């Protein structure tokens, strides 16, 4: 069996397992997994840039927030229907990531990390500053009108847990297909070449700036899609989603699951979400777990879960 | 109050801010300059300094001046020791790889911050200033302690400058910074130098925090603002350039203090952060720096 067919089978099986999971999960975990699925979309978007292109952004919260506020503000203030608001959120993320890319990609290495961190901080401060529209930290709760929509001749209720779960899963499947196609094609190979040795790729005639810009824009757009869906499904937007914490989280998920593996971020998000959930039952200092896991990964497990599996057993894992 | 006296007041506030920022940013700049390492946990060392000052002052009891003097001595030492251990146990083992170091220091940030939350608690706590007196200007009275903060920061800066430019230890640090491999060939234990510089950087941040804790309060989340401000200063001053760092700290501290008095602090932060990001994009050597050696 070819590597491509094996990986199609594997990722199809992951999606099927996630689909089946909803019928056995108790109510609390049903909701928790819905959140995990959307956060995994965010992490997969991040991984496209970090894992495959080798660019570490410390500001991905701004793209998540762009999607969230793009969708949430239009739904709240302009009463846009859900699909239009969602689309607008995604477009906001695409626009922002294009502009940020044009600026930040002029820098490399440490400077790139700091520039993304700082621009993200500006976005966070903006959500606090324009409090008339965003209500800052307190945030906005989506109105009842934004809790349902009509599409494809059907009424969709966002208050229904099962609808939410399957919509989140559909977004995850879309993201996964997108990443798989990118990684398999020439574009993905060029990205990996840039990760491994940018100078050599440039010498071979690749315009690495354009490739990196495309990767960043796609990554930001996927992150914004997660943010927009998060706002509309859970009916709340607030400044805390733009804070540094939300830039660190996808990094943590990706490192844990394995940077540069398609399904790694899903594994990482699941594991970390439940670890933090468990810790927060026992202590208010649950972020301690985040710190310990980060150190552990860097020191002893730099390849992450699926990275280890690939190195050890499944060489074909994309 | 007229504009003139009001502006004087804002300038004084800005100078206090700038003095503390000089110390904190100098620590970050030293670490970056010598080790080429971005220390995201730097703000937490600042916070630890303030928290330790509270521990020491409470433990010492007696006259506030005694507790404060002890804190000014002990807190930087303790924080330096913690940083030294962190460098040996973590950063050394990831071989100072830029990405791994950043992730590791983010991990250290959370561990320090959350351990403080567990032990020190979520409340903000004040340390008594060592003395009270007011300097009377014709228009308003001003805390004499705050003026002493400026003086003390100056003394510490001069001491650091002396250490770097006039001692053998400083020479070794500068050699390591200039060319790591050649330094190693000349028998300098580069690993030891790195650990020492990392500890010194943390101790400088802690010293700044001890000075400022009687005017502000110790809180487990107080590290984030000094971290971002230090980043800003180090970037504007030119990554790794110490003279640039000091000029930039003065500039940023003063203008931040003055702008916050007259305008919305959030807007001020937004504009300055964006400006700095753009400086890093279009003038990576900083406003005062020269291009770094490759």
| HEC per residue, A140-204 | EECCHHHHEEEECCEEEECCCHHHHHHHHHHHHHHHHHHHHHHHHCHHHHHHHHHHHCHHHHHHC
Structure tokens at A79: 């009463």
Q: With 50 as the cut, is the pLDDT of residue B109 above it?
A: yes
The interaxial angle of helices B190-212 and B3-35, nearest 10 deg, is: 160
Cα separation, A15 vs A11, in Å, equals: 6
Q: Which of A121, A259, A286 to mutate to test the interface with B (most CBs of B within 10 A)?
A: A121
Residues of chain A found within 8 Å of residue B112, distances taken between Cβ atoms: 291
**Closest to B70 in 3D by CA, of B56, B80, B59, B50:** B56
Q: In B, residues 231-260, which contact A (CB 8 Å cutoff)?
A: 231-232, 235, 239
- What pLDDT is stored for residue B244 in this prediction? 84
Per-residue model confidence (pLDDT) at position A137:
83
Q: Which of B39, B106, B284 to mutate to test the interface with A (most CBs of A within 10 A)?
A: B106
Of B99, B267, B281, the CB nearest to A107: B281
Single out the residue of B197, B152, B166 nearest to residue B37, CA to CA.
Answer: B197
Residue B11 has pLDDT above 90, yes or no: no
Token pair, residue B152, equals 């003390």
What six digits make up the tokens of A114?
Answer: 């700091």
Q: Does B38 touch chain A (CB under 8 A)?
A: yes
Please give the average per-residue pLDDT across A279-283, as a whole number.
87
Provide the phi-psi class of A317: left if phi over 0, else alpha when psi is between -120 and 50, else beta: beta
Nearest CA in chain B to A243: B224
Mean pLDDT of B75-87: 95
CA distance A42 to chain B (A): 19
Q: For A168-177, what is the mean pLDDT?
A: 96
Answer yes or no: is pLDDT of B197 > 80: yes
Spell out which residues of chain B touch residue A298, defining contact as CB-CB under 8 Å. 90, 94, 100, 103-104, 107
Residue A156: burial class (beta carbons within 10 Å; 0-12, 13-18, 19+): middle
Q: What mean pLDDT comes out for the span A82-108?
A: 94
- Closest by alpha carbon to B125, among B222, B255, B1? B222
Query: Is residue A160 predicted with pLDDT exceeding 80?
Result: yes
Residue B294 confidence class, pLDDT cut points 50, 70, 90:
very low
Across the range A131-142, mean pLDDT stands at 86
CB contact under 8 A, B122 and A284: yes
Which chain B residues in 81-140 lie under 8 Å from chain A, judged by CB atoms?
A: 90, 93-94, 98-100, 102-104, 106-115, 117-118, 122
User: No. of H helices and E strands in chain B?
Assistant: 11, 2
Terminal alpha carbon distance of chain B: 53
pLDDT (0 to 100) of residue B293:
45
> What are the chain A neighbours of B283 within 8 Å (beta carbons)?
none
pLDDT given for residue B239 in this prediction: 66
More confident residue, A230 or A153: A230
The pLDDT of residue A246 is: 94
Report CA dihedral (B45, B48, B52, B54) to the nearest 10 degrees. 130
Asked if A164 and A156 touch (Cβ cutoff 8 Å), the reply is no
CB contact under 8 A, B269 and A119: no
Task: Select the residue from B28, B33, B110, B282 to test the A interface by mutation, using most A Cβ atoms within 10 A.
Answer: B110
Supply the DSSP symbol for B293: P
Interval B136-159: pLDDT, tens: 777 777 888 888 899 999 999 999
B285 close contact with A: CB closer than 8 A: no
Q: Is B107 within 8 Å of A295 when comparing Cβ atoms?
A: yes
pLDDT confidence of residue B231: 86
Q: How far is CA A97 from CA A61, A216, A219, A311, in A?
A: 11, 7, 8, 33
Chain B positions touching A128 (Cβ under 8 A) are 266
For residue range A178-217, list pLDDT tens digits in order: 999 999 899 999 999 999 999 999 999 999 999 999 999 9
CA-based nearest residue in chain A for residue B267: A129
Beta carbons within 8 Å of A37's beta carbon, 6+ residues apart: A18, A165, A168, A169, A171, A172
Return the percent helix, strand and coil in chain A, to nearest 5. 75, 5, 20
- A32 contacts A220 by C-beta, under 8 angstroms: no
What is the pLDDT, as a whole number, of residue B1? Answer: 64
The pLDDT tens digits for B45-79 are: 999 999 999 999 888 877 888 888 899 999 999 99
Percent with pLDDT over 70 in chain B: 96
Q: How big is the CA angle at B102 (ends A261 and A59), to the nearest 5 degrees?
A: 70
- Between CA B261 and CA B270 the distance in angstroms is 15
Supply the pLDDT for residue B89.
Answer: 93
Cβ-contact A283, A275 below 8 angstroms: no
Whether residue B2 is predicted with pLDDT greater than 80 in this model: the reply is: no
CA nearest A294 in B: which residue?
Answer: B107
The two tokens of residue B80 are 């330096």
| Beta strand pairing call for B141-143 and B134-136 | antiparallel
Inter-chain touch A292–B111, beta carbons under 8 Å: yes
Residues 6+ apart with CB under 8 A from B278: A103
pLDDT band at residue A142 under the 50/70/90 scheme: confident
Q: Please check whether residue B148 touches A, CB under 8 A.
A: no
Residue in A106, A110, A291 closest to B107 by CB: A291
Which of A117, A129, A293 is nearest residue B270 as measured by Cβ atoms?
Answer: A129
Tens digits of per-residue pLDDT, B227-245?
988 988 888 887 667 788 8
Average pLDDT on B192-216 reads: 93
Q: What is the mean predicted confidence (pLDDT) over B173-194?
A: 90
CA distance B103 to A290: 11
Percent of all residues in chain A with a pLDDT value above 90, rounded to a whole number: 64
> Of the candidates A106, A128, A295, which has its C-beta nearest B90's C-beta?
A295
Nearest CA-CA partner of A72 in A292, A237, A256 = A237
What does DSSP assign to residue A263? Answer: S
Burial class for B174, CB neighbours closer than 10 Å (0-12, 13-18, 19+): middle
Question: What pLDDT, on a 0 to 100 scale, did the predictor assign at position A13?
Answer: 92
B52: left (phi over 0), alpha (psi -120 to 50) or beta: alpha
Bridge partners, B136 (sequence order): B141
Q: Which residues of A touch B95 (CB under 8 A)?
A: none
A242 close to A123: Cβ distance less than 8 angstroms? yes
Place A139 in a pLDDT band, splitting at 50, 70 and 90.
confident
Cβ atoms within 10 A of the Cβ of B7, count? 14
Q: Are A242 and A120 in contact (CB under 8 A)?
A: yes
Per CB-CB distance under 8 Å, the chain B contacts of A248 are 106
Identify the DSSP state of B122. S
Q: Which chain A residues contact residue B284 at CB under 8 A? A: 107, 111
Average pLDDT over residues B254-269: 77
Question: Does B107 sit within 8 Å of A294, measured CB to CB?
Answer: yes
The pLDDT value recorded for residue B289 is 57
Q: What is the share, in percent, of chain A residues with pLDDT greater than 70?
A: 100
Kindly determine whether residue A122 and residue B99, on different chains, have CB atoms separated by under 8 Å.
Answer: no
Q: Read off the tokens for A108.
A: 């490399």
Q: Which residues pair with A154 in a beta bridge?
A: A151
pLDDT of residue A61: 96
Under the banding of pLDDT at 50, 70 and 90, the label for residue B118 is very high
């Amino acid at each position: 069996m070819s590597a491509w067919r094996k990986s199609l089978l594997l990722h199809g099986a992951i999606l099927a397992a996630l689909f089946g999971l909803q019928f056995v999960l108790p109510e609390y975990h049903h909701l928790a997994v819905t959140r995990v699925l959307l956060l995994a979309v965010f992490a997969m978007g991040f991984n496209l840039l970090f894992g495959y292109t080798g660019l570490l952004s410390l500001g991905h919260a701004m793209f998540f927030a762009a999607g969230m506020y793009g969708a949430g503000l239009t739904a709240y203030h302009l009463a846009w229907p859900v699909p239009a608001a969602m689309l607008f959120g995604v477009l906001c993320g695409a626009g922002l990531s294009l502009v940020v890319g044009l600026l930040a990609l002029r820098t490399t290495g440490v400077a790139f990390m700091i520039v993304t961190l700082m621009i993200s901080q500006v976005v966070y401060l903006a959500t606090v500053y324009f409090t008339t529209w965003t209500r800052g930290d307190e945030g906005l709760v989506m109105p009842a009108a934004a809790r349902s929509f009509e599409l494809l001749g059907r009424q969709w209720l966002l208050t229904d847990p099962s609808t939410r779960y399957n919509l989140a899963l559909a977004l995850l499947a879309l993201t996964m297909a997108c990443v798989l196609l990118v990684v398999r094609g020439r574009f993905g190979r060029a990205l990996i070449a840039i990760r491994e040795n940018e100078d050599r790729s440039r010498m071979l005639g690749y315009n690495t700036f354009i490739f990196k810009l495309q990767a960043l824009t796609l990554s930001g757009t996927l992150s914004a899609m997660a943010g927009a869906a998060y706002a509309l499904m859970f009916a709340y937007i607030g400044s805390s989603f733009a804070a540094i914490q939300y830039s660190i989280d996808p990094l943590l998920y990706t490192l844990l699951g394995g940077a540069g593996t398609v399904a790694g971020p899903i594994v990482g998000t699941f594991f970390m979400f439940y670890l933090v959930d468990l810790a927060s039952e026992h202590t208010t200092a649950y972020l301690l777990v985040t710190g310990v896991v980060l150190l552990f990964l860097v020191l002893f497990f730099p390849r992450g879960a699926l990275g280890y599996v690939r190195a050890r057993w499944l060489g074909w894992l994309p | 109050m007229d504009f003139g006296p009001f502006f004087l007041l804002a300038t004084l506030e800005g100078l206090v801010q700038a003095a503390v920022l000089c110390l904190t940013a100098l620590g970050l700049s030293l670490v970056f300059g010598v080790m080429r390492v971005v220390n995201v946990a730097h703000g937490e060392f600042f916070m630890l300094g303030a928290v330790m000052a509270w521990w020491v002052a409470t433990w010492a009891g007696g006259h506030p001046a005694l507790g404060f003097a002890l804190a000014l001595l002990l807190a930087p030492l303790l924080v330096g020791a913690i940083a030294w251990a962190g460098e040996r146990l973590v950063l050394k083992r990831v071989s100072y790889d830029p990405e791994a170091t950043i992730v590791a220091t983010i991990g250290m940030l959370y561990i320090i911050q959350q351990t403080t939350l567990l032990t020190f608690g979520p409340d903000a706590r004040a340390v008594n200033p060592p003395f009270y007196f007011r300097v009377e200007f014709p228009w308003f009275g001003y805390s004499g302690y705050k003026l002493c903060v400026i003086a003390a920061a100056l003394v510490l800066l001069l001491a650091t400058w002396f250490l770097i430019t006039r001692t053998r230890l400083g020479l070794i640090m500068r050699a390591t910074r200039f060319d790591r491999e050649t330094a190693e060939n000349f028998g300098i234990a580069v690993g030891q130098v790195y650990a020492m510089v990392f500890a010194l950087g943390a101790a400088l941040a802690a010293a700044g925090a001890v000075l400022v804790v009687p005017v502000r309060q110790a809180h487990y989340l107080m590290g984030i603002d000094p971290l971002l401000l230090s980043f800003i200063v180090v970037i504007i001053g030119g990554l790794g350039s110490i003279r640039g760092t000091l000029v930039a700290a003065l500039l940023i501290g003063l203008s931040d203090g003055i702008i916050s008095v007259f305008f919305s602090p959030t807007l001020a932060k937004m504009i300055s952060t964006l400006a700095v990001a753009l400086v890093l994009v279009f003038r990576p050597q900083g406003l005062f720096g020269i291009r770094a050696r490759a």
